[in-house]
Structure formats: C-alpha cells, structure tokens
C-alpha cells in the first residue's frame, strides 16, 4: 500500500503542465508585416535609433589630437633655413584631456539618448500593429454581422411570404404582412450601413499598408463586372428594381379577396 502511494506521489510530482499553444492568425500577421514595412515613420525612427547608437562610442572617446607647425624669421624667397641665426622651426603635438568623469557622463548621456530613440521606435511599431489589428478585427466583425444579417433577411422574407399568403387566404389580419415588410426594410437599411462601414474599414486598412487604390482597381472592376453580370441574369432582378418593388409593396399591401359569392349570370331575354 505504501509503495503504491509512493508511486502515485512520484507520478504526480513529475507531471508537468503543458501550456496551451496560441494559434496565430496568419492573415493578421501578414497584414501587420506589410504595414510595418510600408510605414515611413517607422523607417525614420529606425534611422534615428541607429544614429543614436552610433554616437555612443564617439561620446566617450578623447578629442582628436592636434599637430601644429610654425616657422619664424625665414629668409625669402629662397626658403633658406640656415642663413640666419634667428630662423626657428616649431612643431607641436597636443592632446586635450578632459576633467575626470566628463567622458563617462557623455557616454551615459549618449546611451540614454539611444535608449530613448529605441523606445520611440518600439512604441511606434506597437501603434501600427494595434491599428492594423483594430481594423482587421473590426472588418471581421462586419463580415460576420453581414452574414448574420443575410440569414435574418432570408428568414424574414420567408415569413413575409407566409404572412402575405395567410392574409390572402383571409386567415391573418392585414397588420402581419405590413409588420413583416417593415422588418425587412429595416434589415435592408442595416445592410446598407454595414456595407458602408465595410468599405471604410477596407480603405483604412489599405492606407495603413500603403496600398494604392490604383493597384486594386483592376480586381475591383472585374468584381463589379461579375456582380453586374449576375444582377442582370434573368433569375435575379437588379437591386434597384428589387428595392423599388419592395417600396411599392410596402406602400400598398396586397388586396384582400372579397368574400361575397359571384353574382348569377343574367337570364335570357323574353
């Protein structure tokens, strides 16, 4: 019994908790890398950081030595150095020595300046990454909201058809199809708002990544052409026609059939 408990305690003590792996979004990582590579302020901050790091060794070095040469009482124009006893040639070599502690203080100041430039560059990189993540997740939220809204539109359209059929069969009041049409119109307005927000977010994401609109004009033109082709197909009416038709049906509800029996045909004349 003791041996079994000892084995159990040993197994529990040697067991390690494996941390959960964080799944990285490859699309977000690619967009972030593109934004970091295309941002000009990041390049400027990186250049300032490199310049500040390069000034650190020079700040702690001694000043450059000086070499001075001079001539006095030289006989001209032959440059005779030995004709006069008063001719002098002086050569001096000098080195400035700062007060003790000055070079160390200069080095510390240069290092602090380099750390400040590095912190500025890191903060700017984080700002760009946060901006890209904010736009990306907002865009994903809008796409999910559009999918949910499209599903709700299909359900409400089916409910509107059912209520209209029941009203035509005199088994439902007139308010049911009218309420269904109002709900469908409200969802259409929300769909327009989501489409506008989607376009705004995509434009902001392209601007952060440094992508010009002209680079995507060809793909957008082909997409618009394909959507126009699909909208002009005989099975799907255009959006303007569908909107006008829904507006007309919303303004005028379907006529309720009369419950009076048809009148008898007139008899033959005598």
Q: Looking at the predicted structure, is the pLDDT value of residue 15 above 50?
A: no
Residue 221 lies inside a defined structural domain of this protein: yes
Give the pair of three-digit tokens for residue 171.
């088994």
- Looking at per-residue pLDDT, the higher value among 129 and 4 belongs to 129
Residue 234: φ, ψ to 5°? -65, -20
Q: Looking at the predicted structure, is the pLDDT value of residue 176 above 90?
A: no
| Same-domain status, 86 and 164 | no
Query: What pLDDT does residue 96 have?
Result: 86
**CA 119 to the chain's CA centroid:** 22
d(CA 106, CA 55): 10
Run of H or E including 18: none
| Same-domain status, 89 and 147 | no
d(CA 52, CA 118): 9
| Same-domain status, 184 and 242 | yes
Residue 24 pLDDT class (50, 70, 90 cuts): low
φ/ψ region of 254 (left if φ > 0, alpha if ψ in -120 to 50, else beta) reads: beta
For residue 238, give the DSSP letter. -
d(CA 199, CA 60): 55
Residue 180 lies inside a defined structural domain of this protein: yes
Residue 194 lies inside a defined structural domain of this protein: yes
Q: Which domain holds residue 218?
A: 142-251
d(CA 131, CA 128): 5
72-122: per-residue pLDDT in tens?
877 777 777 777 777 788 888 988 888 888 888 999 999 999 999 999 999
Number of domains observed in the structure of the chain: 2
Across the chain, the runs of DSSP E, i.e. the strands, are 66-72, 88-94
User: pTM of the prediction?
Assistant: 0.58
d(CA 26, CA 156): 37
233-259: per-residue pLDDT in tens?
434 334 434 444 444 444 444 444 444
| Same-domain status, 90 and 146 | no
């Amino acid at each position: 019994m003791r041996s079994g408990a000892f084995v159990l305690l040993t197994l529990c003590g040697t067991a390690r908790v494996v941390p959960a792996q964080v799944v990285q979004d490859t699309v977000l990582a690619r967009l972030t890398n593109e934004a970091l590579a295309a941002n000009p302020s990041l390049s400027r901050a990186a250049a300032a950081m490199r310049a500040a790091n390069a000034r650190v060794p020079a700040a702690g070095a001694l000043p450059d030595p000086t070499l001075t040469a001079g001539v006095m009482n030289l006989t001209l124009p032959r440059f005779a150095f030995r004709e006069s006893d008063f001719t002098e040639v002086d050569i001096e070599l000098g080195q400035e020595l700062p007060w003790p502690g000055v070079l160390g203080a200069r080095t510390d100041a240069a290092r602090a300046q380099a750390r400040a430039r590095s912190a500025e560059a890191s903060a700017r990189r984080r700002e760009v990454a946060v901006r890209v993540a904010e736009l990306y997740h907002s865009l994903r939220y809008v796409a999910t909201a559009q999918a949910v809204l499209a599903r709700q539109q299909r359900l409400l359209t089916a409910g509107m058809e059912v209520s209209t059929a029941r009203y035509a069969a005199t088994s439902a009041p007139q308010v049911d199809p009218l309420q269904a049409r109002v709900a469908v119109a409200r969802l259409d307005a929300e769909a327009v708002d989501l489409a506008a927000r989607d376009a705004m977010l995509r434009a902001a994401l392209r601007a952060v990544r440094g992508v010009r609109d002209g680079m995507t004009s060809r793909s957008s033109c082909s997409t618009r052409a394909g959507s126009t082709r699909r909208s002009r197909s005989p099975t799907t009416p255009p959006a303007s026609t569908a909107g006008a038709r829904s507006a007309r049906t919303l303004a005028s509800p379907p006529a309720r059939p009369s419950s009076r029996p048809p009148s008898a045909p007139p008899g033959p004349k005598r």
